Structure 1
Amino acid sequence: MESQGRGGRGGRRGERGRCGEDKDVRLSKSMSFALRHGANKLGLHLNPDGFLFVEDLLAHPQFRSYSLEDVERVVATNDKKRYKLCRHPEDGRLQIRANQGHSLQVPDLELRPVQAGSSDCPVEGVHRSYLCHWTSIRTQGLSRMNRTHIHLCLPGEEDSGKRDVCDLAIYINVPKALADGIQFFLSENGVLLTPGDTEGKLPLRYFSKALRLKPTRSILPLE
């Protein structure tokens, strides 16, 4: 994809602001808020499929210090592939979308439904959280909170990524939940998503196990 040169508005990876935060980290956080939660508050218009034209993003006062090169670099280097950058099929304008994690209602995120018994139906999904929330989770179940989905990774990915501060992993029996009518989807970047039950939750009966991840791994009682 084309980009502005290094003499443009953006800077190189590694530049730091007054608080010492990497410029790319600041841009990624700002894009995450705009594309997942705050488009309406910022006066930005998301298409029904969740895409926003990059030119509109960069024209916003919050993003005017960044360049197209900055956006492309953040999308390309994001460890979880949280963003998708592509051309609009009709006019060719560059557009960007967050692949999941929305609190905004986005009707068409190209999520692939998981079918019971299919080859892509996992036996378990894993939700990463914190031990300080375990008592509440065990009592009330997992909640999607203000988001549209509960996020799950696959077994074996509990320690992956940069969110290594998580010290709790909750394993969900996906086939059992599917059998009860709870929907699951796979996002374009391979995250397992579920809206939960009618209350937006995954109750304790769908928990396979709960695992303390740190300082050493140990099984937590479910009852």
Structure 2
Amino acid sequence: MEQDTQSAPSQSQQAESGKKKQTRRTPRNEKSNNNNSNNNTTGGQQRSAKLRGLPKDSPQVRLSKTLSWLLRHGAKSEGLPIREDGYVKVDDVLENPKIKSQSLDLKGVQEIVEADSKKRYDLKQDQDGVWWIKANQGHSLKTVKLDLKPILSLEDIPSKTAVHGTTKEAWSKISTHGLSKMSRNHIHLAQGVPTSFSPSSTTTITTTSNNNFDTTTNIISGMRSSSSILIYIDIPLALSSSIKFYLSDNGVILSEGDEKGFIPTEFFEKVEKRDGVKWVEIEGWKRPSLEDTKK
């Protein structure tokens, strides 16, 4: 009788086939194990080791952005213990999956802090030898209550200037509703226009801050470089209307705004737009009076 070519394979053929299938599955298992090694699970939530930032950013920039995000926004979601004053143990930061994946150590953290041009961080060692780090401003974590210097008059601002930088797109809404702190704890204002904005925009200030901020320096923080609109705040008028302002350790002016979290437009002293290397007042915008807003 002719042998059936469709008959079941022999035991030896089955064993060989099983080996091949097992061999093909191995890389998939290894990949799964590798993925697990790059994540940390706490409280039932899996935390990624992926760094913050854009693909075009250098590894150093992405690492700094990740550190800033952890200290300002992500500590709670990442299971990172953070004190009410915003300080986190450096050892705890180094154990975070995002940071640990980069093999960062204390020296690396010190280098990030020293190299940061906006002086975003404060790094210190306590009497027990424990290192702590905090972000000087920019938090959205509601449990963080920074030790800020109250601004009681214009004289408390070294430059006598408070300005917020924004974009043309955002201005269309701000011009109607005012400046909002949005998800953050404060609205951020700079003490002038950073020197990087234009050759003619240089403001030298003197500050009494004792942390990370030179006593005589150019404006370094409080405004994004992408800003194309400048909103100058009338500090005396705003203070007289019970809007509070504070000075951070790196010289940024902070405000919680009014009871709704806004600095209304009646406290905008002037508004300018970028025009090449200079700034010109926006045509057609008129500052509303307090009387008009109360009608």
> Shorter-normalised TM-score: what interval?
0.7 to 0.9
- The alpha-carbon deviation at position 166 of structure 1 amounts to 1.3
Of 212, 219, 222 in structure 1, the residue corresponding to residue 281 of structure 2 is 219
Aligned residues: 206
Amino acid at match of 1:36: R
Residues 168 and 211 in structure 1, CA contact (< 8 A), matched pair in contact too:
yes
- The alpha-carbon deviation at position 222 of structure 1 amounts to 2.6
SS state at 1:70 partner: helix
Q: How does 1:197-216 map to 2 (within 5 A)?
A: 197-215=258-276, 216=278
- The alpha-carbon deviation at position 107 of structure 1 amounts to 4.4
Amino acid at match of 1:40: K
User: In 2, distance between residues paired with 1:119 and 1:20?
Assistant: 40
Amino acid at match of 1:219: E
Amino acid at match of 2:285: L
1:14 maps to none
Please say which structure displays the higher CA radius of gyration.
2
Of 74, 79, 84 in structure 1, the residue corresponding to residue 122 of structure 2 is 84
Does structure 1 residue 101 correspond to structure 2 residue 138? yes
Could you tell me which runs of 5 or more consecutive residues in structure 2 were left unpaired when the two chains were aligned.
1-52, 198-218, 287-295
1:171-210 Cα distance to aligned partner (Å, 9 max, x none): 0001110111110000001100000000000111000111
Amino acid at match of 2:57: E
Q: In terms of mean alpha carbon deviation, does 64-73 or 177-186 score higher? A: 64-73
Query: Sequence identity, in percent?
Result: 37
SS state at 2:61 partner: helix
Q: In terms of mean alpha carbon deviation, does 20-29 or 55-64 score higher? A: 20-29
2:74 maps to 38
Residues 116 and 179 in structure 1, CA contact (< 8 A), matched pair in contact too:
no
User: In 2, distance between residues paired with 1:108 and 1:72?
Assistant: 24
- The alpha-carbon deviation at position 97 of structure 1 amounts to 0.2
1:9 maps to none
SS state at 2:77 partner: helix
- The alpha-carbon deviation at position 67 of structure 1 amounts to 2.1
Does structure 1 residue 195 correspond to structure 2 residue 256? yes
2:92 maps to 56
1:41-85 Cα distance to aligned partner (Å, 9 max, x none): 000010111100010110111111222222111100101100000
Structure that is richer in helix per residue: 2
User: In 2, distance between residues paired with 1:117 and 1:74?
Assistant: 33
Q: How does 1:13-162 map to 2 (within 5 A)?
A: 19=55, 21-64=57-100, 65=102, 66-89=104-127, 91-116=128-153, 118-120=155-157, 123-157=160-194, 159=197
SS state at 1:213 partner: strand
- The alpha-carbon deviation at position 22 of structure 1 amounts to 1.8
- Structure 2-normalised TM-score? 0.65
User: In 1, distance between residues paired with 2:281 and 2:54?
Assistant: 43
User: In 1, distance between residues paired with 2:230 and 2:145?
Assistant: 29
Higher relative contact order (CA closer than 8 Å, sequence separation 6+): 1
User: In 2, distance between residues paired with 1:29 and 1:105?
Assistant: 20
- The alpha-carbon deviation at position 164 of structure 1 amounts to 2.6
SS state at 1:190 partner: coil
User: In 2, distance between residues paired with 1:26 and 1:68?
Assistant: 17
User: In 1, distance between residues paired with 2:154 and 2:97?
Assistant: 49
1:146-175 Cα distance to aligned partner (Å, 9 max, x none): 000000011343736594321111000011
Of 227, 241, 245 in structure 2, the residue corresponding to residue 180 of structure 1 is 241
Residues 121 and 133 in structure 2, CA contact (< 8 A), matched pair in contact too:
yes
User: In 2, distance between residues paired with 1:164 and 1:142?
Assistant: 18
- The alpha-carbon deviation at position 99 of structure 1 amounts to 0.3
SS state at 2:109 partner: helix
